[in-house]
Structure 1
């Protein structure tokens, strides 16, 4: 007997508190067992949230990008151990910023190549600086277009923060992974996603660019302003540095219904209830395998990720004792900058798609509680 009243009350509470609107969809064994939304799509006009609202997924895009690249691993087109310079030659000779004992930094040649695995696992040595000199030059040179492949070429000119494969750093890895998919698959990343994943799954509202009709459903975006204690309007995607840049790290837009179809296929170990296979079960298992070394674990240190490891682009639940979470071991997924949360749990065949559209998203408060509530309600 499932009673989701406490979850509905929680959504009411957070939308009364700081968050303009929130929506949650819970699927269990391929059935939608609960769906609830509250709050205002537009705070000023007091427009309530309706079905089909489109919003920025931000880093929930990363799960899709990693699935896209894993398909190429399954097809034998790439291996995790390959150096990325085999596909993106500009990464053949990299420099690393070394900090000297006296505090100065100097540039040295990297002794290890960046591998495909490093891109998945956030261990390549990149930063998340979208305003670095090489990227700013690329924006200017391409007249604000910055195609995905050009982005990767520009980023290769920046020094790495550490030797590839030695540390973990949340960074532009998955944006470079999207460029790698383009080169190996021989088509634009957005096209590849549409033909291989979103199209077959029947996801009509997930893309890097929206039609006019979809634009009319794009939800206003907010940012919580600590000074005034309320959300203020802040539209646009700051991670999209070019009109042709299909950001594998943060570029997709979607709806709750649409992205739940994708997440649920992963909860089913790679195949949708209709029999559309996006990954083999073995790939889903690999994706949620913890890849962190002890050294990397020091870097993966956000408080609300205690008890979690990091796999191929996703958090993965390792220890209930450490996390204090009611979710199953092996539960995996990720979150986005405006507060979306994906929970994928193959052992329970459980999918949670939670959405909101507020930067400064209050994630450490909302997400762990939301997860516990769903598991308790089951």
Structure 2
């Protein structure tokens, strides 16, 4: 193994426009490479360190889907169940339809939203966190916006399309978190702590940062094209209330800790220490391509060419199309501030890459980083 090309790449992108970057590579359950470069705090010239807490944003989705799949394993729900069996407000949904004249009208949905539609981003929901119904919940609860109440508010908005007919990135996994709450009875954060992060020893991973951890929370930046440099931009727009636990974008963690979770999935659901969070068959179902002929054409992000979409994760389906050096079945996801998860059971490889910059340059960074990892191995 020779990881010099990967370290040079990390140096190059931090010299370019990304304030800092870190990559951790686990191979056959052993740490074989770890490298970080740049400044966590640009203004203070403070280097990144190994216990830095970051916002995972959409890397949260992998854990949320894992939590919900645990309930499938327990027989508490089925993928093909109507969502309204558990969240009744989703029983009578309207679909927004644009007529040939350009007029927008609402029609009653012909298909029910199924539980699987939440996993596969095919429920017809939007990603509008500023919708009138959500803002009303924020107002009515004096800024608390509990997860279950926000999910109920999302149901008040019309669907963008008939459930199951398209793939569209949305608040589906936020609703999935509320589904876990209703089926299990615990708050989503409590369920995650008791069933996943606690057993895996992930003390710095959760929907809030402890008082003791605040000094380790990395500043966040957004690259400004107009000024040609990263600008400090702390906060999380997806944290819409003090009690809102966003299953789509709400987790905090560290590179080391989230790698523990990802590596458990690489090991088909059981950690090297013997902690089982999913069965191997469930992990295989998670990374199976669930796109249909109807939904495939809408999954069109350039950096995911050659990938399908499973239960909350991208999954490698075509080397010819992707140009990726990873094997078929490699899966994972990414986050708004630039983090990337690579989970590869066949190679027994786990990669956790992190940065903390919005406007994250993902289409450039992620495919190159993935290829470099496999080249270095």
| TM-score of the pair, normalised by structure 2 | 0.99
Residue-by-residue CA offset, 1:125-160 (whole Å, 9 max, x unaligned): 001001111011111001111000001011100000
Q: What is the match of residue 215 of structure 2?
A: 216
Gapped runs of 5+ residues in structure 1? Answer: none
Local SS of the residue matching 2:297: helix
Q: What is the match of residue 39 of structure 1?
A: 38
Q: What is the match of residue 92 of structure 1?
A: 91
Bigger drift between 103-112 and 330-339 goes to 103-112
Aligned-residue offset at 1:295: 2.5
Q: What is the match of residue 350 of structure 1?
A: 349
Aligned residues: 377
Q: How does 1:283-298 map to 2 (within 5 A)?
A: 283-298=282-297
Gapped runs of 5+ residues in structure 2? Answer: none
Q: What is the match of residue 27 of structure 2?
A: 28
Q: Distance in 2 between matches of 1:274 and 1:221?
A: 34
Local SS of the residue matching 2:123: coil
Residue-by-residue CA offset, 1:77-121 (whole Å, 9 max, x unaligned): 000001111111111111000111111111011111111000000
Q: What is the match of residue 148 of structure 2?
A: 149
Q: What is the match of residue 200 of structure 2?
A: 201
Aligned-residue offset at 1:267: 0.3
Q: Distance in 2 between matches of 1:150 and 1:328?
A: 41
Q: How does 1:78-89 map to 2 (within 5 A)?
A: 78-89=77-88
RMSD over equivalenced CA pairs, Å: 0.5
* Residue 248 (str. 1) matches residue 247 (str. 2): yes
Q: What is the match of residue 300 of structure 2?
A: 301
Q: Distance in 2 between matches of 1:24 and 1:328?
A: 20
Local SS of the residue matching 1:327: coil
Q: Distance in 1 between matches of 2:203 and 2:14?
A: 28
Q: Distance in 2 between matches of 1:230 and 1:328?
A: 36
* Residue 326 (str. 1) matches residue 325 (str. 2): yes
Aligned-residue offset at 1:187: 0.4
Q: What is the match of residue 262 of structure 1?
A: 261
| TM-score of the pair, normalised by structure 1 | 0.99
Q: What is the match of residue 335 of structure 1?
A: 334
Local SS of the residue matching 1:215: helix
Local SS of the residue matching 1:97: strand
Aligned-residue offset at 1:294: 2.2
